[in-house]
Structure 1
Amino acid sequence: MTDSYRRQIDKLHDDVRRGRLSRRDFMIRSAAIVGAGALPVLPFGARAEEPASGGFMKLGLHNASQNDSLDPGTWSTSWTGASFNGGVFNNLVEILPDGSVAGDLAESWELDSGAKIWRFKLRPGVVFHNGKSLVAEDVRQSLLHHMKPDSTSGARAIVQQIETINADGPETVVITLTEGNADLAYLLSDYHLSIYPALDGGGIDMESGVGTGAFLLESFEPGIATRLKRNPNYHKNGKPYLDEVEFINIPDATARLNALLTGEVDFIQDLDIRNVSLVERSGDFAIVRTPSLRHFTFDMDTRVAPFDNPDVRLALKYALDRQDVIDKVFLGEGAIGNDNPVASIQKYHRDLPAREFSIAKAKDHLAKAGVDTLQIDLSVAENAFAGAIEAATLYQEHAAQAGININVVREAADGYWENVWRKKPFCAVDYFGRATVDWLFATSYVTGAPWNSGWSNAEFDALHKAARAETDEEKRGADYGKMQEILRDDGNVITVAFVSWRDAVSDRVGFGEVGGLMPLDNMRLCERWWLKS
């Protein structure tokens, strides 16, 4: 009987890994099985060991750039998010592994006037790495950094909602919004919104690398490595567990795997799907699959012809056989994206009719656009997303049947996010997703959003404004559902697939429940993980 229950639990785990089951449904169904069979089940992805202190962990990541800097407004990858925001700095709040929001530098908060006024009380006793005490002005200046008139910060869509920021004494920050938004606490967890020391006369100190985080910045070589050393005065009791952490940039997937197998690193990000069986057969390593909001896309710049034509965009969407890509590139570990960036595990997800691969419909929309054939470039790189080059090559084969000739341009991996994404008119993109639908839309799809590639839709913008202020859940859900329909049919993003985070670790690495709303345990891996003693 016990073996039967255990097989059921294993089947549920496999369904979550392959995107067929949400984490929430996993917990509900596994609890029912446990109740019947009295089996111990850990939170998804967790290990049973108690945390151990000490040790030096090395992490093999792939998306560092020589253009990386300590300016938080420029951060756009898991490298900067996990090493800087998750290691050296903190936010007012953080996202816990279960997806809930909790205080970090803020001890508590209150909201008033229809979620328009927010008061954050700072945690007492927090000090920066240089011994300076955290005060409200540090928070104020850190947020103002992203609010400059010429700001290109990735958090601009969040801070644009702020009307004023005031310090009510040294321990309280009062944020007044232009209109109410009950999601503000979630929004302030954005990895760009790290809290820096304020400078005399205004601004923040971005030169010294001084934060309040779990680690001190020991060295930083852009595009190569970042090394961190334990902060002995960290405000979270018992954390971090590690003495040192090093982030090492290894863009090539095979080289990352070899670094893990030879002991050069203890953890690698984005294990190549073709190497899963090799790792699973080993007793010295394990694979960590974490359900996520992550999705891979091909983005079109609608300011550039022919992508400014909605029928061309629809032709390109119908000309991609997503299931073929999932089967051949991701070996079945993924879910069809359906040109909707809202994940099925996310609140307000609208289950829309699937967009089937159709050469006939692709040709029909080309005809409506007044063309018989298209010749376009699609920019990709090894680190655009795992399998991007192979996915683009398959897309090239699919689209050719409709008279769409795609030239796959292999760009340099280093600098891809600065030189290609939102610079080239058609390119591959790896989106982490965002904890709330409002946040996702405000970051990438509302007109003028910081990560918008020129797409604009007046109805979409109006619905976004209405939904943000709507307190009736049913009406708010209806607005967000309609916005997803607009994105599917008019938007500039071809959503290829939703996938889980798939990383590989040495057996000497310990961790608890792993958060999946953002990569690397919601960017907090180096604070939350440990090495076994």
Structure 2
Amino acid sequence: MSDKKEFKALLTQDAKSGKLGRRDFMRFAVAAGMTVSLASGLWTSEVAAATPQKGGKFRVGVHDGNTSDTFDPGTYLSVGMIQLAHAHRSYLTEITPENTLGPDMADSWSASPDAKNWTFELNKNATFHDGRKFTSKDAVASLNHHRGEGSTSAAAALLSAVVDVKAKGDHAIVVELNQGSADLPYFMTDYHLVMCPAKADGSIEWDTMIGAGPYKIVDHRAGISTNLVRHEGWHREGAYFDELELLVLNDPNARQTALITGDVDAITSVDLKTMALMARNKKLVVENVPSGSAITLPMFCDHAPFDNVDVRLALKYAINRDEIVEKIMFGTATVGNDYHVSSGMPYAPTDIPQRSYDPDKAKFHLKKSGVGSIDVNLSAADSILPGAVDMCVLYSEHAKKAGIKINPVREANDGYWSDVWLKKPWTFVKWGARPTPDQMFSLAYKDDAPWNESHWQNKRFNELLLTAKAELDETLRAEQYREMCQIASDDGGTVIPFFANFVYARNKKVAHGPNLAAAWELDGGRGYHRWWFA
């Protein structure tokens, strides 16, 4: 019996890899004792469904889209634009379905021994949607868009150590740093760092919507919908769908109804309250992908009462993370500990005690703060995460036991990123997963980072950030990140309730490979070119 199972597995594997066509598969299967009907069913269910097929229009219901969204990659904020960016633009590197680093517009990369100089060899076959060849000039301009004193790009902090970006012939670039950075190739996966056509003056064409990604835009209405067709000059495998349609459906009920009724083929976020019901639908598949996507509640540390570290600690002890994961996330998350490094990240510390719900300790820090009482607003919108407002309400109930008053504020879905985040002193935020601690800390916790959402300043933390960035000794680097995590947990201005799984859904006729990237929704935002209709 075991030999027959092993033969069946090997036969199926050879067929999936293309070594056997249907005729040979059927011949070998029947010779091994299978009936014709059994062999035919095996081919249909195991081989044909797992073999990418070209064709069809892939319709996706996307959450968190806004009428204020723009194509300037330095301003990308919303999930809607992040998804669209991965559909119509390309990057130097990518996070693979196995959650490792892989090539995109760059075929390979190498570093000097001190990691201060990185060379990226570019794909010679890559073209933009209008037929122009992608060259080193475009790569240099695309990275420089996020650099310089006048840059307002959110990715400026990631490239702050870059001294120069130079072309090395037509198909290679050299990135020079003022200090070593072992993680630079990972930084190139950041969703802002898309490759765009260069202008004569060294700037980029971002407003034309031209990219070099798997699909090109034929119609776009910000905050409403985008239609795309396959870019026949794309330089990689995949892009199996003929067309894409991304529909902004911020309302969770509308989004899920569209999937159930067949108006869309996939959705980027599932309302967790109805997740179990959707999972019972035989036409649908709910994907539940563990990730490093953090929910953060950043407090402006230069704004009273959050400028008092004991107030911040009181709020960190006043939240019952376990109950929130159970009641709001229905178990699809892992509790946070107020530092932005998930257990799946490299260098994640394992010996920092978990901060538990403790109203008495919250009261202690509240008294120690000397502010008397805490009465604060916490802004949220369900477009950021279904159940975001409910979570804030539950948090407010926890805090009452410590004598703290939290007022949940339901903000408008449209314009949340432009009008609320970084504008109001305490907000609900959902971050995508980042592959390394250095990337996350550089984006949102470094003292001068544009996205330092809590306005937090800590001299020791920033010293360690610079040191760890260039440290090539893995043991020392782990120790440095551990100290940074401890500092962030004890002094930082961010409550981190949990790290959320990416929970999204698709019609069963949509197929994909055995693994899913955990960087963003829909296979790291790359389901548009990795998936197909079975």
TM over 0.5: yes
Indicate the SS of the match to 2:111. strand
Equivalence for 2:267:
268
Indicate the SS of the match to 1:292. strand
Q: Letter of the aligned partner of 2:254 in structure 1?
A: A
Query: How far apart are 1:333 and its partner, in Å?
Result: 2.3
How many angstroms apart in 1 are the aligned matches of 2:157 and 2:125?
31
Equivalence for 2:344:
345
Q: Letter of the aligned partner of 1:299 in structure 2?
A: P
Once the two structures are superposed, the pairs formed by residues 177-326 of structure 1 within 5 Å of their partners are: 177-237=177-237, 239-326=238-325
- Which protein shows a greater Rg? 2
Q: Letter of the aligned partner of 1:344 in structure 2?
A: S
Asked if structure 2 preserves the Cα contact closer than 8 Å seen for 1:291 and 1:501, the reply is yes
Asked if structure 1 preserves the Cα contact closer than 8 Å seen for 2:384 and 2:429, the reply is yes
Query: How far apart are 1:386 and its partner, in Å?
Result: 2.7
Q: Letter of the aligned partner of 1:527 in structure 2?
A: H
Return 5+ residue gaps in structure 2 as ranges: 3-46
Query: How far apart are 1:338 and its partner, in Å?
Result: 1.6
How many angstroms apart in 2 are the aligned matches of 1:192 and 1:220?
19
How many angstroms apart in 1 are the aligned matches of 2:201 and 2:422?
35
Q: Letter of the aligned partner of 2:64 in structure 1?
A: N
Once the two structures are superposed, the pairs formed by residues 431-442 of structure 1 within 5 Å of their partners are: 431-442=431-442
How many angstroms apart in 2 are the aligned matches of 1:288 and 1:329?
18
Query: How far apart are 1:148 and its partner, in Å?
Result: 3.3
Task: Detail structure 1 runs of 4+ shifted over 4 Å in the superposition.
Answer: none
Indicate the SS of the match to 2:427. strand
How many angstroms apart in 2 are the aligned matches of 1:123 and 1:304?
48
How many angstroms apart in 2 are the aligned matches of 1:53 and 1:425?
49
Once the two structures are superposed, what CA deviation does each residue of 1:188-221 show, in whole Å capped at 9, x if it has no partner? Answer: 1111110100011221111221111100111111
Equivalence for 1:515:
517
Equivalence for 1:395:
395
Deviates more, 1:434-443 or 1:378-387: 378-387
Task: Output the aligned Cα RMSD.
Answer: 1.6
How many angstroms apart in 1 are the aligned matches of 2:268 and 2:414?
17
Once the two structures are superposed, what CA deviation does each residue of 1:285-340 show, in whole Å capped at 9, x if it has no partner? Answer: 11111121112121111121111110000000111111121121112222111212
Asked if structure 2 preserves the Cα contact closer than 8 Å seen for 1:78 and 1:520, the reply is no
Asked if structure 2 preserves the Cα contact closer than 8 Å seen for 1:138 and 1:198, the reply is yes
Query: How far apart are 1:413 and its partner, in Å?
Result: 0.4
Asked if structure 2 preserves the Cα contact closer than 8 Å seen for 1:78 and 1:523, the reply is no
Question: Number of residues paired by the alignment?
Answer: 487
Specify which of 511, 515, 528 is matched with residue 526 of structure 1: 528
Equivalence for 2:41:
none
Query: How far apart are 1:422 and its partner, in Å?
Result: 1.1
Equivalence for 1:481:
482
How many angstroms apart in 2 are the aligned matches of 1:248 and 1:148?
35
Query: How far apart are 1:47 and its partner, in Å?
Result: 11
Indicate the SS of the match to 1:291. strand
Deviates more, 1:437-446 or 1:330-339: 330-339
How many angstroms apart in 1 are the aligned matches of 2:126 and 2:78?
27
Q: Letter of the aligned partner of 2:485 in structure 1?
A: Q
How many angstroms apart in 2 are the aligned matches of 1:174 and 1:471?
20
Deviates more, 1:179-188 or 1:117-126: 117-126
Asked if structure 1 preserves the Cα contact closer than 8 Å seen for 2:197 and 2:205, the reply is yes
Equivalence for 2:8:
none
Asked if structure 1 preserves the Cα contact closer than 8 Å seen for 2:89 and 2:211, the reply is yes
How many angstroms apart in 1 are the aligned matches of 2:408 and 2:125?
54
Query: How far apart are 1:519 and its partner, in Å?
Result: 2.7
How many angstroms apart in 2 are the aligned matches of 1:266 and 1:487?
41
Query: How far apart are 1:384 and its partner, in Å?
Result: 2.7
How many angstroms apart in 2 are the aligned matches of 1:141 and 1:342?
32
Asked if structure 2 preserves the Cα contact closer than 8 Å seen for 1:162 and 1:177, the reply is yes
Indicate the SS of the match to 1:427. coil
Query: How far apart are 1:409 and its partner, in Å?
Result: 0.9
Query: How far apart are 1:110 and its partner, in Å?
Result: 2.0
Asked if structure 2 preserves the Cα contact closer than 8 Å seen for 1:163 and 1:177, the reply is yes
How many angstroms apart in 1 are the aligned matches of 2:57 and 2:348?
41
Indicate the SS of the match to 1:375. strand
Asked if structure 1 preserves the Cα contact closer than 8 Å seen for 2:288 and 2:332, the reply is no
Structure 1 residues 312 and 465: alpha-carbon distance in aligned structure 2, compared to 1, 3 A threshold: same
How many angstroms apart in 1 are the aligned matches of 2:113 and 2:163?
14
Q: Letter of the aligned partner of 1:312 in structure 2?
A: V
Indicate the SS of the match to 1:288. strand
Once the two structures are superposed, what CA deviation does each residue of 1:475-509 show, in whole Å capped at 9, x if it has no partner? Answer: 11000001000111111111111121111111111
Equivalence for 1:111:
111
Once the two structures are superposed, what CA deviation does each residue of 1:244-292 show, in whole Å capped at 9, x if it has no partner? Answer: 1111111111111111111111111221111122112111111111121
Indicate the SS of the match to 1:376. strand
Query: How far apart are 1:78 and its partner, in Å?
Result: 2.4
How many angstroms apart in 2 are the aligned matches of 1:384 and 1:285?
23
Return 5+ residue gaps in structure 1 as ranges: 3-45
Indicate the SS of the match to 1:263. coil
Equivalence for 2:367:
367
Query: How far apart are 1:138 and its partner, in Å?
Result: 0.5
Asked if structure 2 preserves the Cα contact closer than 8 Å seen for 1:47 and 1:511, the reply is no
Q: Letter of the aligned partner of 2:504 in structure 1?
A: D
How many angstroms apart in 1 are the aligned matches of 2:386 and 2:154?
23
How many angstroms apart in 2 are the aligned matches of 1:328 and 1:413?
23
How many angstroms apart in 1 are the aligned matches of 2:300 and 2:527?
34
How many angstroms apart in 1 are the aligned matches of 2:380 and 2:93?
35
Asked if structure 1 preserves the Cα contact closer than 8 Å seen for 2:117 and 2:176, the reply is yes
Once the two structures are superposed, what CA deviation does each residue of 1:208-244 show, in whole Å capped at 9, x if it has no partner? Answer: 211111001111111111111111111113x200011
How many angstroms apart in 1 are the aligned matches of 2:185 and 2:342?
21
- Whether 2:494 is the aligned partner of 1:496: answer no
Structure 1 residues 56 and 335: alpha-carbon distance in aligned structure 2, compared to 1, 3 A threshold: same
Equivalence for 1:470:
471
Asked if structure 1 preserves the Cα contact closer than 8 Å seen for 2:69 and 2:78, the reply is no
Indicate the SS of the match to 1:323. helix
Asked if structure 2 preserves the Cα contact closer than 8 Å seen for 1:320 and 1:399, the reply is yes
Q: Letter of the aligned partner of 2:137 in structure 1?
A: E
Query: How far apart are 1:177 and its partner, in Å?
Result: 0.7
Structure 1 residues 211 and 503: alpha-carbon distance in aligned structure 2, compared to 1, 3 A threshold: same
Asked if structure 1 preserves the Cα contact closer than 8 Å seen for 2:502 and 2:520, the reply is no
Give the alignment's TM-score, normalised by structure 2: 0.89
- Whether 2:19 is the aligned partner of 1:57: answer no
Once the two structures are superposed, the pairs formed by residues 127-166 of structure 1 within 5 Å of their partners are: 127-166=127-166
Query: How far apart are 1:456 and its partner, in Å?
Result: 0.8
Q: Letter of the aligned partner of 1:466 in structure 2?
A: T
Q: Letter of the aligned partner of 2:273 in structure 1?
A: R
Deviates more, 1:403-412 or 1:47-56: 47-56
Asked if structure 1 preserves the Cα contact closer than 8 Å seen for 2:115 and 2:470, the reply is no
Q: Letter of the aligned partner of 2:235 in structure 1?
A: H
Once the two structures are superposed, what CA deviation does each residue of 1:166-189 show, in whole Å capped at 9, x if it has no partner? Answer: 112211211101111111111111
